[in-house]
Each structure stands twice: as C-alpha cells, then as structure tokens.
C-alpha cells in the first residue's frame, strides 16, 4: 500500500485549496445588502448519482469534480473516505453516491395488467419508502447548543441532512462527543463557518453557520467543550446547523441526542 501511495504521489498531488484549513480563528459576518437584509450565498445540496463513478484527471480537485456533478465537496470527500487535506490523484476512481445503497431513492414499481385485462387497468403505485433503522452508537452524545429546534431531519431529502437549533449570536456551540477536529473553515457553500469533528472511524458531527470558530484542525476536544460561537454565516438567522453522519451518510440527530 505504501508503494502504491508513493507512485500516486509521483504522478502528482492535487490539493483542494477550497477545503484548506485556516491558521487562526476568524469572525465572519454576512455582508449587508440593501434594505438591511443579509446577502446570503446560494445553498448547494448534493444530488447523488447512484452507480456512477468518475476517474480523476490530472489537474482536477475534489471541489471541481463535486461542482461539475452537482455534489458538495464535503459529501464527495465523505462518500469516498478522502481525509484532510483532501488530496486526490490522477487515475483514482471516485463514487458519486454514498456507499450505503439504502440511501438510493426507490425506483418506481409498476406491474403489467393480467392477461385479458381491459385497457383501463392502471399501474400499481410504488409503495412508500421505508426508512432504515438507526445505526447503533456507543457514543455518549450530548446537545451541541441550547435552543428551539426550527428545522428537522428528513431522510432522503438533501436539503434537510441535520437539525437547526435557534439561538442568539455568540451563544456557545459545544462538541456533541469526544473527538478530533478534522475540518475548521468556511469553504463549503451553504454551511458558513463550519467545524467537523471525527469521533471514530464511523461517526462524524458537523456544526455550521457559526459566527466564530474556536478550534483548529487536529485539535482534540471533549464532549461539552466549546468549539464555536453561534451565528448566521450562510443562514438567515442566528442558529446552529447540526449533523451526525454514520459512515459518511447523514442520520437523524434526534435518534441519538438525549431527551430534553
């Protein structure tokens, strides 16, 4: 494996500058537009292409491939287990969909009418999709912020991959479990100032729309430790966008957070 990696490096390392880590914490405010409203960037959501792959060409980056295929750079990296600093190599094959096939949208199911049936027979409608059971977790999850839930998770909906917790600007945002910070930056459109924590090989948590990030990549954090200040970067109000991901696939945070 080491020899293969060396050969790939000799072929040319392609660094993803849009996902590069920040050397220090920054306070970012959304620019004001006319009428006192915040000028917000457009929110991009992933459109998985189940069964499709691409082969990396020289000069391509994770961001470029993701953008050309209607996928966020974060999802493309997670779906293909690409760790920071998000380096890819010519000849590498990348999936354009999550490895877990259960995330695939259900195909329409139709049935042919029985022999001799009249032309008025209608196709049988597809049954509603059944959500897979929540994966078991041994982590002691805790709430990342205080406040009312103003946006919920919806399986299969790329616009609702986590929950939104309303609050006040500057309110503490805390790590939901022990882990290491694997991303701290603002290079992902729609997330604003974002922190991602890796808890183990299967579990990640993401914290978006912060006013300020208080941890850098590589930092070890404990559950309950403040990692950011709540804000509205990339959002229309002060709130925290919180996601939990299992093997790169978003899951409902409310299935893991304690009752309150």
Q: Do 194 and 240 form a contact (C-beta atoms < 8 A)?
A: no
Prediction pTM value: 0.56
Comparing 5-9, 62-66, 242-246, the range with the smallest average pLDDT is 5-9
pLDDT at 132: 56
Q: E strands, 118-162, where?
A: 149-151
Closest CA to 211 of 258, 166, 172: 172
Task: With a cut of 70, say whether residue 125 has pLDDT above it.
Answer: no
pLDDT at 133: 63
pLDDT digits (tens, 9 = 90+) for 222-240: 999 999 999 999 888 999 9
pLDDT digits (tens, 9 = 90+) for 87-102: 888 889 999 988 754 4
The structural domains of the chain, ordered by start, are 2-95 (3.10.350.10), 149-255 (2.70.70.10)
For residues 153, 157, 161, 164, the Cα torsion angle rounded to the nearest 10 degrees is -50
pLDDT at 195: 96
Q: Do 210 and 224 form a contact (C-beta atoms < 8 A)?
A: no
pLDDT digits (tens, 9 = 90+) for 10-34: 334 333 333 333 334 444 443 444 4
pLDDT at 1: 45
Q: What CA–CA distances, in Å, run from 183 to 20, 143, 199, 208, 218?
A: 9, 20, 13, 11, 8
């Amino acid at each position: 494996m080491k020899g293969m990696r060396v050969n790939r490096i000799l072929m040319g390392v392609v660094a993803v500058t849009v996902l590069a880590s920040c050397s220090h914490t920054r306070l970012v405010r959304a620019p004001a537009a006319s009428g006192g409203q915040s000028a917000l960037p457009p929110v991009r959501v992933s459109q998985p292409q189940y069964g499709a792959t691409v082969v990396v060409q020289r000069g391509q980056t994770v961001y470029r491939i993701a953008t050309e295929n209607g996928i966020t750079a974060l999802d493309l990296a997670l779906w293909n287990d690409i760790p920071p600093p998000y380096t890819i190599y010519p000849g590498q094959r990348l999936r354009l969909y999550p490895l877990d096939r259960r995330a695939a949208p259900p195909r329409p199911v139709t049935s042919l009418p029985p022999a001799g049936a009249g032309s008025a027979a209608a196709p049988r409608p597809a049954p509603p999709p059944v959500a897979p059971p929540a994966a078991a977790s041994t982590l002691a999850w805790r709430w990342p912020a205080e406040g009312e839930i103003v946006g919920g998770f919806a399986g299969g909906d790329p616009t609702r991959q986590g929950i939104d917790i309303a609050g006040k600007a500057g309110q503490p945002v805390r790590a939901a479990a022990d882990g290491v910070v694997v991303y701290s930056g603002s290079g992902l459109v729609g997330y604003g100032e974002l922190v991602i924590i890796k808890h183990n090989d299967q579990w990640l948590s993401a914290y978006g729309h912060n006013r300020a990030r208080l941890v850098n990549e590589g930092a070890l954090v404990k559950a309950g430790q403040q990692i950011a200040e709540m804000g509205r970067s990339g959002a229309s109000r002060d709130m925290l966008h919180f996601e939990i991901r299992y093997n790169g696939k978003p899951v409902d945070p409310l299935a893991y957070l304690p009752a309150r």
